[in-house]
């Protein structure tokens, strides 16, 4: 059983999704989703502890040995991302029960859970597979279900947001397929480890740099790196709250994982950075993302949209860490994957609570909410402090590593940009806090605190973002292991 | 002659650009999806062309034919998966367009944008 864990991690949710759709009862479908996500969390924890103690786990699907068969590979990086996805899914599913009842038509709720499980399956699959074409298949599973989930939003603009994401996401995925095809035609293999061995021999042809370019554009579109982020703000704003909390904490993180996997494992750090100069492309884009998107976030009147732009800026931090290219820089990037998932999950869940009680997340409707909904807004403040990077929160840990990595390379302007980005985060978080705590309460509005079913998961993530900010030892160790493995140094 | 030998690849590039242009330039949501389809189809042809070997036959084992050249079946199989994905994407896209039509009463991008303001 434990030997088959890598495939069961994906297979169990994959089977659970049609079951949830066929049961067609909100309560039963939700239970199936709950079981699937908690199963994934158990499998993720087991896989992480095994790969940390025993090294890389390789699983040949159907007994067909790689490179002919599809291989699932669990190493510290993929186990880390699997844990992020599974953990967020396990927290969001209980939250979804209450939130979805308010936001989605009753007859669509079972299908919502089916799409939700499928989305999780796709994301887990991308992280666990060692076959590059399999990545595309799982990418499409997660993307197609995400489009459907976004379209379930109650605002009609959710439909156009989903459509826009579908068009851009499909173009991105097709670019990735072109890149994979060009790599295959030069090497005759799709297995990542095998590709890594065979690519250097053909890397001075024209085909491989073209494949590299197609992969870069496709992946950066999926992870919403500026300026390919255009699909993201609308998608996050109009999707149902539970969906936003889930995809904001996982989907772009998997994109970053793909970036790490393709450019460090498949192409190799020396080809990506020394020959193709990827860092010279990623770093300016990341810096521009941090500055411009934080600026745009300041001027948003819809808090979900504000947080969405802030997400694009935060993706900038992750890519910035990776583009520094040192162990410390990549550690900062990987660490921020987890940390950002915690805080953005908490923030979007808090917005889900507001949506539940107020029915809108526009700033002017949130006046005085600090008194009407003290617990919700307190969770928002904790998440917001983390976003800024205040000490004793996870945001501080990420930025600490990022600044250290930049200082190590003597990149003073980068440090300055990180600092300015944090200051802008102060402004946009403060904007919400000011309205919520110092605004006038509307005497006619009868606003109650969100129910416990929403508050408990929200606070779970908010407290986790404080806990892992105070005790960053474990997360930093895993991230360092992962970075060392990607760069091929150390153990 | 060499350029002519790459005929399929020229077709791929032409279709890819036609599809991509339609996708970007057209405001009609259905036309955009058609552009996306042409774009994806060009990639299908790219894969299928890659698998073809000059003089190669269908990859079915020929009894006693020691020097038979086979085409590579793997790109064909891969693209079968991509075709299924493409069908699913188109179906989902079209159903979204139906719902957009119901919600907005139009499928022209600029009119939808005006309606959203």
pLDDT at B2 over 70: no
The answer to whether residue B63 is domain-embedded is no
Chain B: residue nearest A174 by CA? B40
- pLDDT reading at B1 higher than 60: no
pLDDT over 50 (residue A329)? yes
Average pLDDT over residues B7-26: 90
**Nearest neighbour of B75 by CB, restricted to A140, A151, A184:** A184
Report the run of H or E that residue A58 belongs to, with start and end. Answer: strand A57-60
Residue B112 CA to residue A399 CA, distance in Å, equals 41
What total of structural domains would you count in chain B? 1
Q: Give the pLDDT band of residue B117 (cuts 50, 70, 90).
A: low
Q: Tens digit of pLDDT for each residue in B43-72? A: 999 988 888 887 778 888 878 777 788 888
Asked if the Cβ–Cβ distance from B89 to A148 is below 8 Å, we say: no
Size of interface A-B (CB pairs under 8 A): 72
Q: What are phi and psi of A301, to 5 degrees?
A: -95, -15
**CB B97 to CB A171 under 8 A?**
no
Which residues, including other chains, have CB under 8 Å from residue B54's CB and lie 6 or more apart?
Answer: none
Chain A residues inside the 8 Å CB shell of B70: none
The residue of chain A nearest to residue B89, with distances taken between CA atoms, is A144
| Last-in-domain residue among A252, A276, A300 | A276
Taking CA–CA distances from B29, the nearest residue in chain A reads: A163
For residue A127, the number of C-alpha atoms closer than 13 Å in the C-beta half-sphere is 34
Of B43, B88, B104, the CB nearest to A178: B43
Is the minimum CB–CB distance between B17 and chain A shorter than 8 Å? no
CB contact under 8 A, A170 and B47: no
Q: How many CB atoms lie within 10 A of CB A11?
A: 14
Distance of CA A404 to the CA centre of its chain: 24
Please give, rounded to a whole number of angstroms, the shortest distance from the CA of A363 to a CA of chain B.
18
- pLDDT at residue B4 greater than cutoff 80: no
Q: Note whether A201 and A211 are same-domain residues.
A: yes
pLDDT at B3: 67
Mutant choice from B8, B12, B19, B85 vs A, greatest count of A C-beta within 10 A? B85
Three-state secondary structure call for residue B53: coil
Check whether residue A173 and residue A38 sit in a common domain: yes
Is B81 close to A184, i.e. CB distance below 8 A?
A: no
* Across A442-448, average pLDDT: 74
CA angle A61, A66, A67 (to 5 degrees): 130
Condensed to tens digits (0 to 9), the pLDDT of residues A236-290 reads 999 999 999 999 999 999 999 999 999 988 888 888 888 888 888 889 999 999 9
How many whole angstroms separate alpha carbon B21 and alpha carbon B76? 26
CA dist., res. B13 & res. B5, Å (int)? 14
- Put simply, the answer to whether B78 touches A133 (Cβ < 8 Å) is yes
In chain B, % of residues over pLDDT 70: 93
Would the pLDDT of B19 be above 50?
yes
Domain ends where: A225, A260, A276?
Answer: A276
Specify whether A135 is located in the same domain as A284.
no
Residues A75-79: what's their mean pLDDT?
89
Query: Which residue in A163, A164, A235 has the most chain B C-beta atoms within 10 A of its own C-beta, making it the best mutation to test that interface?
Result: A163
Residues of A in contact with B103 (CB under 8 A): 156, 159
Q: Is A410 exposed, middle or buried (0-12, 13-18, 19+ CB in 10 A)?
A: exposed
Contacts of B74 in chain A (CB under 8 A): 184
Indicate which of B32, B78, B90 best probes the interface with A, i.e. most A CBs within 10 Å of its own CB: B78
Residues spanned by the domain of B9 = 2-53+68-116
Whether residues A175 and A268 share a domain: the answer is yes
Domain holding A472, by residue range, is: 277-491
CA B83: distance to chain centroid?
8
Among A119, A125, A133, A156, most B C-beta atoms within 10 A, so best to mutate, is A156
The stretch A131-159 carries a mean pLDDT of: 91
Are both A297 and A262 inside the same structural domain?
no
Q: What are phi and psi of A229, to 5 degrees?
A: -95, 5
DSSP secondary structure string, A236-302? HHHS-HHHHHHHHHHHHHHHHHHHHIIIIIITTHIIIIIIS-HHHHHHHHHHHHHHHHHHHHHT-SB
- Chain A: residue whose CA lies nearest to B35: A167
Chain-chain contact of B96 with A147 (C-beta, under 8 angstroms)? yes
Nearest CA in chain A to B108: A160
Q: Report, as an integer, the average pLDDT of A31-43.
A: 93
Cβ-nearest to B92 among A133, A148, A173: A148
Same domain, A43 and A186: yes
Cα three-residue angle B1-B4-B7, rounded to 5 degrees:
160
Residues A324 and A263 in one domain: no
Instruction: Give me the residue from A137, A162, A174 closest to B39, CB to CB.
Output: A174
In this prediction, residue B116 carries a pLDDT of 59
Q: Looking at the structure, tell me whether residues A104 and A158 fall in a common domain.
A: yes
Average pLDDT over residues A480-487: 86
Tell me how far the alpha carbon of residue A201 is from its chain's centroid.
34
pLDDT score recorded for residue A491: 46
Whether residue A170 and residue B50 make contact (CB cut-off 8 A), yes or no, is no
pLDDT of residue A436: 87
pTM, rounded to two decimals: 0.92
Residue A73 pairs in a beta bridge with A58
CATH classification of the domain holding B101? 1.10.287.3510
Q: Do B99 and A157 touch (CB under 8 A)?
A: no
Q: Which of A136, A147, A171 to mutate: most B Cβ within 10 Å?
A: A171
Asked whether B19 and B35 are in contact (CB, 8 A), the reply is yes
Query: Do A106 and A207 have their domain in common?
Result: yes
Q: Closest residue of A to B98, CA-based?
A: A159
The per-residue pLDDT of chain A, averaged, comes to: 89
Residues of chain B with C-beta less than 8 angstroms from the C-beta of A181? 43, 46-47, 50, 75, 78
In contact, B112 and B100? CB cutoff 8 Å: yes
Is A105 strand, coil or helix?
coil
Query: Is residue B59 in some structural domain?
Result: no
Is residue B62 one of the residues assigned to a domain? no
Chain B CB contacts of A184 under 8 Å are: 50, 74-75, 78
* DSSP SS3 for A325: coil
* Residue A115, pLDDT above cutoff 90: yes
Distance from CA of A356 to the nearest CA of B (A): 23
A85-113 average pLDDT score: 90
Question: Residue B61 falls within a domain, yes or no?
Answer: no
- The predicted structure's pLDDT at residue A217: 92
Residues A265 and A352 in one domain: no
Residues within 8 A of A (CB atoms), B 48-107 only: 50, 74-75, 78, 81-82, 85, 88-89, 92-93, 96-97, 99-100, 103-104
Residue at B60 is within a domain? no
**Contacts A177 to B, Cβ<8 Å:** 43, 82
Q: Which of A388, A370, A240 is nearest to A314 (CA)?
A: A388
Residue length of chain B: 117
Total number of domains constituting chain A: 2
C-alpha A234 chain-centroid distance: 17
pLDDT at A166: 93
Which helix (DSSP H) or strand (DSSP E) does residue A71 occupy?
A: strand A71-74
The pLDDT tens digits for B74-94 are 888 889 999 999 999 999 999
Does one domain contain both A387 and A360? yes
Confirm if A340 and A252 have CB atoms less than 8 A apart.
no
Residue B16 lies in a domain: yes
Count CA atoms within 13 Å of residue A247 on its CB side.
32
The nearest alpha carbon in chain B to A132 belongs to B78
**Residue A278 contacts residue A323 (beta carbons within 8 Å):** yes
For the cut 90, the answer to whether the pLDDT of residue B32 exceeds it is yes
Least confident of A304-308, A345-349, B50-54: B50-54
State whether ipTM is beyond 0.90.
Answer: yes
Cis omega (within 30 of 0) for bond into A328? no
Residue B93 lies in a domain: yes
For B50, which residue in chain A has the nearest alpha carbon? A185
Does B20 contact A171 at a Cβ distance shorter than 8 Å?
yes
A171 and A267 share one domain: yes
Closest in A144, A151, A174 to B99, CB measured? A151
**H/E stretch holding A86:** helix A76-103
Which conformational region is residue B105 in: left (phi greater than 0), alpha (psi within -120 to 50 degrees), or beta? left
pLDDT at A144 over 70: yes
Q: What angle do CA A341, A346, A352 make, to 5 degrees?
A: 125
Residue B58 in domain: no
């Amino acid at each position: 059983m434990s030997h088959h864990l890598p495939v069961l991690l994906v297979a169990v949710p994959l089977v659970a999704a049609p079951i949830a759709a066929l049961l067609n009862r909100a309560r039963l479908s939700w239970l199936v989703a709950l079981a699937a996500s908690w199963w994934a969390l158990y499998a993720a924890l087991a896989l992480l502890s095994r790969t940390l103690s025993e090294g890389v786990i390789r699983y040949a699907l159907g007994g067909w040995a790689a490179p002919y068969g599809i291989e699932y590979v669990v190493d510290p990086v993929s186990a880390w991302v699997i844990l992020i996805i599974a953990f967020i899914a396990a927290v969001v599913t209980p939250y979804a029960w209450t939130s979805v009842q308010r936001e989605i038509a009753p007859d669509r709720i079972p299908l919502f859970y089916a799409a939700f499980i499928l989305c999780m399956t796709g994301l887990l699959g991308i992280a666990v597979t060692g076959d590059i074409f399999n990545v595309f298949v799982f990418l499409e599973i997660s993307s197609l279900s995400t489009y459907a989930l976004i379209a379930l939003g109650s605002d009609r603009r959710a439909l156009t947001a989903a459509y826009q994401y579908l068009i851009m996401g499909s173009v991105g995925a097709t670019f990735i397929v072109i890149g994979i095809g060009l790599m295959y035609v030069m090497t005759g293999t799709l297995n990542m480890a095998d590709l890594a061995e065979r690519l250097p021999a053909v890397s001075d042809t024209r085909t491989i740099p073209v494949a590299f370019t197609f992969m870069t554009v496709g992946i950066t579109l999926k992870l919403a790196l500026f300026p390919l982020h255009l699909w993201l703000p609308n998608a996050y704003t109009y999707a149902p709250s539970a969906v936003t909390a889930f995809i904001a904490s996982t989907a772009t993180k998997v994109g970053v994982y793909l970036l790490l996997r393709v450019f460090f494992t498949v192409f190799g750090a020396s080809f990506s950075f020394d020959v193709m100069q990827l860092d010279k492309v990623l770093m300016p884009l990341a810096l521009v993302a941090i500055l411009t998107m934080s600026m745009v976030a300041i001027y948003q009147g819809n808090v979900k949209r504000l947080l969405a732009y802030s997400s694009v800026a935060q993706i900038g931090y992750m890519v910035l860490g990776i583009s520094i290219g040192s162990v410390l820089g990549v550690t900062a990037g990987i660490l921020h994957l987890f940390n950002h998932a915690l805080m953005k999950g908490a923030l979007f869940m808090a917005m889900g609570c507001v949506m539940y009680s107020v029915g809108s997340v526009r700033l002017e409707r949130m006046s005085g909410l600090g008194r009407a909904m003290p617990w919700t807004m307190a969770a928002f403040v904790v998440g917001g402090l983390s976003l800024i990077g205040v000490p004793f929160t996870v945001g501080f840990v990420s930025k600490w590593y990022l600044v250290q990595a930049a200082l190590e390379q003597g990149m003073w302007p980068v440090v300055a940009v990180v600092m300015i980005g944090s200051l802008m985060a102060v402004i946009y978080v403060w904007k919400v806090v000011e309205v919520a705590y110092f605004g006038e309460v509307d005497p006619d509005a009868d606003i109650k605190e969100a129910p416990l079913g929403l508050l408990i998961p929200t606070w779970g993530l908010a407290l986790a973002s404080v806990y892992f900010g105070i005790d960053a030892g474990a997360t930093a160790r895993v991230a360092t292991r992962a970075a060392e493995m990607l760069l091929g140094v150390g153990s | 002659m060499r350029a002519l030998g790459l005929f399929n690849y020229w077709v791929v590039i032409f279709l890819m650009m036609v599809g991509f242009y339609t996708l970007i330039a057209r405001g009609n949501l259905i036309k955009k999806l058609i552009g996306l389809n042409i774009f994806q189809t060009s990639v299908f042809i790219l894969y299928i062309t890659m698998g073809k070997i000059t003089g190669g036959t269908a990859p079915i084992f020929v009894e006693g034919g020691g020097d038979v050249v086979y085409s590579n079946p793997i790109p064909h199989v891969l693209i079968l998966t991509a075709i299924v994905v493409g069908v699913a994407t188109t179906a989902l896209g079209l159903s979204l367009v139906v719902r957009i039509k119901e919600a907005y009463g139009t499928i022209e991008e600029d009119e939808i944008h005006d309606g959203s303001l």
